């Protein structure tokens, strides 16, 4: 089992919840693609998904909530 320091993967803007959701979605994509292609994964899909984020192959996009709250108050 790999231990991962989440702070090393996150750029400081994303929160942990977003990271977990993004990794889970990417892991499901990896599993589905492997099953569709008839491939057997050597590593767990979650570990492959984490590596994708570490290598900056995928990014987490979060809405800028500060601009939304300003618009509601105006």
User: What percent of the chain lies above the pLDDT cut of 70?
Assistant: 72
In a domain, 47, yes or no: yes
Going from the C-alpha of 23 to that of each of 44, 48, 57, the distances in angstroms are 12, 9, 12
Q: Report pLDDT for 16.
A: 82
Structure-model confidence comparison of residues 11 and 42, the more confident one: 42
The parent domain of residue 44 ranges over: 6-61
In a domain, 42, yes or no: yes
Q: Would the pLDDT of 71 be above 60?
A: no
In a domain, 73, yes or no: no
In a domain, 69, yes or no: no
Q: Which of 39, 6, 35 has the alpha carbon at shortest distance from 22?
A: 6
In a domain, 68, yes or no: no
In a domain, 70, yes or no: no
In a domain, 31, yes or no: yes
Count H helices and E strands in the chain, helices first: 4, 0
In a domain, 26, yes or no: yes
How many folded domains does the chain comprise?
1
User: 18-37 pLDDT, tens per residue?
Assistant: 888 999 999 999 999 999 99
**Is residue 54 within 8 Å of 4, Cβ to Cβ?**
no
pTM recorded for the entire structure: 0.72
């Amino acid at each position: 089992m790999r231990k991962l320091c989440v702070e090393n993967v996150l750029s400081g803007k994303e929160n942990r919840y977003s990271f977990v959701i993004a990794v889970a979605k990417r892991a499901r994509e990896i599993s589905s693609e492997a099953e569709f292609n008839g491939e057997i994964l050597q590593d767990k899909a979650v570990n492959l998904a984490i590596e994708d984020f570490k290598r900056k192959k995928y990014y987490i996009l979060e809405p800028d909530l500060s601009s939304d709250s300003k618009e509601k108050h105006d």
